[in-house]
C-alpha cells in the first residue's frame, strides 16, 4: 500500500488524493514529531503563567474574555469539541472526511499549533484504521475554519460520537477505536481549538474537484471534436497560429486537443459542400475559447490550492521565535472564491456542450442528420428526451454557479461578523462536477451516434477509438428506440471513469 509521509512543510495534491480516495497509509516524519514536541513545550510554558493567552487559558470566540483556571482547562478543550460538533443534514462522503482529517493532520504536523505528538499519532492511526467520523452537510460558515465538520472528526479522536468502520457500518466511535487498539485522546490546553480551526474541508473538496475537472475538460475537448466531425465542421479554426495571437494557455491546449482528435478525419472540411456556410456556429467554433477559459480558471485554482496545502492554518499559532499570536488565517475567502470561480466555469462548459448536442438533433441545423438522430423519425423519438435531461442539468448548473462567497452571515455574537461560506461553495461545486460529467456523457452519446450515421465518410482514428471503446462499454449506437436511461448511465460511467480519455490518448498521445 502506498504511504504518505507528513512533514512540517505541507503536503501535495497527490498526497490528498492518495489518502482520501486511495486509502494510502499515513506516517509522521521525525522532523514533524520534533516540531510538535518543541511547539508543545512553548504552549505548556505559557499555560503555567498567570497571564491569559487566547486558546490556551481563555474561552473562545465571543467568550475569549474569560480567563480559565488550570483545573478547568481540560474540560474547556473537551467542551469546545462537543459543543461545536453541531452539524445537521446528510452525511458527507467518506473521501471528503478523509481529506478533512488528513489536511488537519498536515497543519498539526507543521509545529505551529502546539498539539502534542501523541495527538498527531492518534489522528494518523484513525486514518490508517479506515475509521471515518460521521460528518454532516451543514455546520460550516467557512470562517474560524470548517468548525462543525472538524469538530465531528475531533469527537471521534476523543472516542465519542459515531463513525463509520472500514466495513462501512456506522457504530459508536469508542467501540471502533477499541477494536483497532487506539486509545482515545484526552485533550489538553490549546488542543481542542487546534483540531477545529482550519479550512481543511473546503480545501480537500477543492483538490478533488480539480482532479475531476482535469479529466472532464479533456473529455469535453474530445466530445466537442466528435460533434464538430458529426456536423461536418471545419477544423481550420483550431490551427495553432490562430490561438497564438490570443495567447491564453488554456485556449491553446483545448484547440490542440481537438485538433489531435480530428487528425485524419474525412468528415471535416465539408462546411461548404451542399449547404455552404462561411462559419460554424459559436458552440462549435468557440469551443476552445470557452473550455480554455475554464482551464485557465483551474490553473489559478491550483495555485491557491498549492498555497493552502503549504500553509499552517490555526488560531492562535506558535511562531518560530516562540510567540503565540492570534491571527485571521482561518478565513476561507481565498479558497471560497476559486471554488465559486470553478462552478461558474463548469456551468459555462455545460452550457456550450448542451448547445452542440441540440444542434446535432435539429434537422434544420445538423446538415443532413435525421431528426433527433432517430432511426425512423416520427415512429422513433431518438435522443429527443436525452437533450431534455441535458438541458435540465445545465439549468441546475446555472443555479449552482451563483457564488456562495458573495454571501456572509454574522455569528458568535458579532465577533465573527464576516464569513466566507467556503464550505457551501465546495459542496455545490461537487454537485456541479457530477452534473457536468453527465452533460459531457450525453454529448458523447449523441455525437458518437451522429458520427456513425455519416455513412461513406471515415471519422478520425481517434474518433473511431473513442466510439469503439464506448460501444464495448455498453454505450449503444444507432438503432430503433429503446429504454434510454441504461445507455445514458453507461455513457456517464464511461466518462466518469476516465475511459474516454484513456481510449483516445493511445492514438493522439497525451492530451493537455
Q: Catalogue the active-site residues.
A: 54
Segment holding 163, helix H or strand E: strand 162-164
Closest CA to 2 of 24, 20, 21: 24
Contact between residue 261 and residue 504 where contact means Cβ atoms under 8 Å apart: yes
- The CA–CA distances, whole Å, from 425 to 90, 305, 422 equal 17, 14, 5
Contact between residue 294 and residue 217 where contact means Cβ atoms under 8 Å apart: yes
Q: Which residues contact 116 (CB under 8 A, 6 or more apart)?
A: 36, 37, 40, 188, 191
Judge if the upstream peptide bond of residue 282 is cis by omega within 30 degrees of 0: no
Contact between residue 413 and residue 62 where contact means Cβ atoms under 8 Å apart: yes
Contact between residue 193 and residue 414 where contact means Cβ atoms under 8 Å apart: no
Dist. CA 26–CA 125, nearest whole Å: 8
Dist. CA 243–CA 24, nearest whole Å: 41
Q: Which residues contact 323 (CB under 8 A, 6 or more apart)?
A: none
For 123, the 3-state DSSP assignment is helix
Instruction: Tell me how far the alpha carbon of residue 467 is from its chain's centroid.
Output: 28
What values do phi and psi take at 67, rounded to 5?
-85, 130
Dist. CA 392–CA 38, nearest whole Å: 56
Contact between residue 509 and residue 260 where contact means Cβ atoms under 8 Å apart: yes
Cα torsion 493, 494, 499, 500: sign = negative
Amino acid at each position: 500500500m502506498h504511504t504518505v509521509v507528513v512533514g512540517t512543510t505541507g503536503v501535495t495534491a497527490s498526497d490528498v488524493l492518495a489518502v482520501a480516495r486511495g486509502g494510502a497509509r499515513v506516517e509522521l516524519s521525525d522532523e514533524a514529531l520534533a516540531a510538535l514536541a518543541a511547539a508543545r513545550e512553548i504552549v505548556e510554558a505559557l499555560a503555567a503563567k498567570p497571564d491569559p493567552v487566547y486558546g490556551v487559558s481563555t474561552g473562545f470566540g465571543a467568550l475569549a474574555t474569560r480567563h480559565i483556571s488550570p483545573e478547568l482547562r481540560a474540560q474547556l478543550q473537551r467542551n469546545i469539541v462537543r459543543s461545536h460538533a453541531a452539524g445537521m443534514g446528510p452525511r458527507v462522503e467518506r473521501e471528503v472526511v478523509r481529506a478533512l482529517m488528513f489536511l488537519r493532520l498536515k497543519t498539526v504536523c507543521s509545529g505551529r499549533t502546539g498539539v502534542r505528538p501523541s495527538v498527531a499519532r492518534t489522528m494518523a492511526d484513525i486514518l490508517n484504521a479506515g475509521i471515518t467520523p460521521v460528518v454532516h452537510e451543514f455546520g460550516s460558515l467557512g470562517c474560524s475554519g470548517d468548525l462543525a465538520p472538524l469538530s465531528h472528526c475531533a469527537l471521534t479522536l476523543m472516542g465519542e460520537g459515531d463513525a463509520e468502520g472500514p466495513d462501512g457500518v456506522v457504530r459508536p466511535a469508542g467501540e471502533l477505536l477499541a477494536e483497532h487498539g487506539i486509545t482515545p485522546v484526552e485533550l489538553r490546553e490549546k488542543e481542542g481549538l487546534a483540531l477545529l480551526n482550519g479550512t481543511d474541508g473546503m480545501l480537500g473538496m477543492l483538490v478533488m474537484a480539480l482532479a475531476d475537472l482535469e479529466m472532464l475538460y479533456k473529455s469535453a475537448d474530445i466530445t466537442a471534436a466528435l460533434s464538430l466531425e458529426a456536423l461536418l465542421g471545419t477544423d481550420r479554426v483550431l490551427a495553432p497560429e490562430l490561438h497564438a495571437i490570443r495567447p491564453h494557455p488554456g485556449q491553446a491546449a483545448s484547440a490542440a486537443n481537438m485538433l489531435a482528435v480530428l487528425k485524419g478525419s474525412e468528415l471535416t472540411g465539408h462546411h461548404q459542400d451542399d449547404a455552404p456556410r462561411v462559419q460554424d456556429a459559436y458552440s462549435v467554433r468557440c469551443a476552445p475559447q470557452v473550455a480554455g477559459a475554464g482551464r485557465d480558471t483551474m490553473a489559478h485554482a491550483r495555485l491557491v490550492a498549492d498555497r493552502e496545502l503549504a500553509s499552517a492554518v490555526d488560531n492562535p499559532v506558535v511562531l518560530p521565535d516562540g510567540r503565540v499570536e492570534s491571527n485571521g488565517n482561518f478565513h476561507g475567502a481565498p479558497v471560497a472564491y476559486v471554488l465559486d470561480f470553478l462552478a461558474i466555469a463548469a456551468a459555462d462548459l455545460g452550457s456550450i456542450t448542451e448547445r452542440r448536442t441540440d444542434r446535432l438533433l435539429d434537422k434544420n441545423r445538423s446538415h443532413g442528420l435525421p431528426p433527433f438522430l432517430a432511426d425512423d423519425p416520427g415512429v422513433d423519438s431518438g435522443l429527443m428526451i436525452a437533450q431534455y435531461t441535458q438541458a435540465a442539468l445545465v439549468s441546475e448548473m446555472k443555479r449552482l454557479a451563483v457564488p456562495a462567497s458573495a454571501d456572509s452571515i454574522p455569528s458568535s455574537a458579532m465577533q465573527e461578523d464576516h464569513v466566507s461560506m467556503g464550505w457551501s461553495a465546495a459542496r455545490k461545486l461537487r454537485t456541479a462536477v457530477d452534473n457536468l460529467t453527465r452533460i459531457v456523457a450525453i454529448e458523447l452519446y449523441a455525437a458518437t451516434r451522429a458520427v456513425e450515421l455519416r455513412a461513406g465518410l471515415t471519422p478520425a482514428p481517434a474518433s473511431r477509438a473513442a466510439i469503439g471503446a464506448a460501444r464495448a462499454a455498453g454505450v449503444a449506437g444507432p438503432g430503433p428506440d429503446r429504454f434510454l436511461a441504461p445507455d445514458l448511465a453507461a455513457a456517464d460511467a464511461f466518462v466518469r471513469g476516465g475511459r474516454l480519455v484513456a481510449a483516445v490518448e493511445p492514438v493522439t498521445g497525451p492530451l493537455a
